[in-house]
Amino acid sequence: MFIPPIHPSQVVAPSREVYAYMGDANITAMIHDLYRELEKSSIRGMFSADMHAAAERSALFFIGLLGGPPLYHAKYGNPMMRARHMPFPINQAGRDEWLACFERVLDRAVENYNFPAQHLAGFREFLRGFSLWMMNSE
């Protein structure tokens, strides 16, 4: 079993103030745009056939992560993200592709989703650490 070179305690969570700026609708729109990018990516096969449903589930996670209500927890329980990703071999190339898709969305995040510019760098740092922890193969 591949062990990532990071412990989850080393991943700094993004600011919970983000939700106050964006709200449910903008976070959901951002995640749907991410999934549109993922749909065109080389890692498309890691996602369910219903990308809309997958984006909705992911949006609930990000709403709670960014300071909103714990909608994901209420509907699905503890996220246990590493365990949920284990069925899919995630290597460095897969991680890089996922980050590239998210970066394309974040390049327009301030204008398109009212993402607070002062918290964008911290969110990007979180995504880098989070995605490193999701790696499960070399």
Residue 118 pLDDT exceeds 80: yes
Determine the length of the chain.
138
Percentage of residues of the chain with pLDDT beyond 70:
100
Q: Which pLDDT score, from 0 to 100, does residue 1 have?
A: 74
Q: What's the pTM?
A: 0.95
| Across 24-45, average pLDDT | 98
Residue 84 main-chain phi, psi, to 5 deg: -65, -25
Residue 99 main-chain phi, psi, to 5 deg: -65, -40
Cα atoms in the 13 Å half-sphere on the side-chain side of 74 = 7
Q: Which pLDDT score, from 0 to 100, does residue 33 have?
A: 98
46-52 long-range contacts, Cβ below 8 Å, gap at least 24? 46/88, 46/90, 46/94
Q: Which pLDDT score, from 0 to 100, does residue 129 have?
A: 96
End-to-end CA distance of the chain: 9
Domain segments of the chain: what residues?
Answer: 8-134
Superfamily of domain 8-134, CATH level 4: Globins (1.10.490.10)
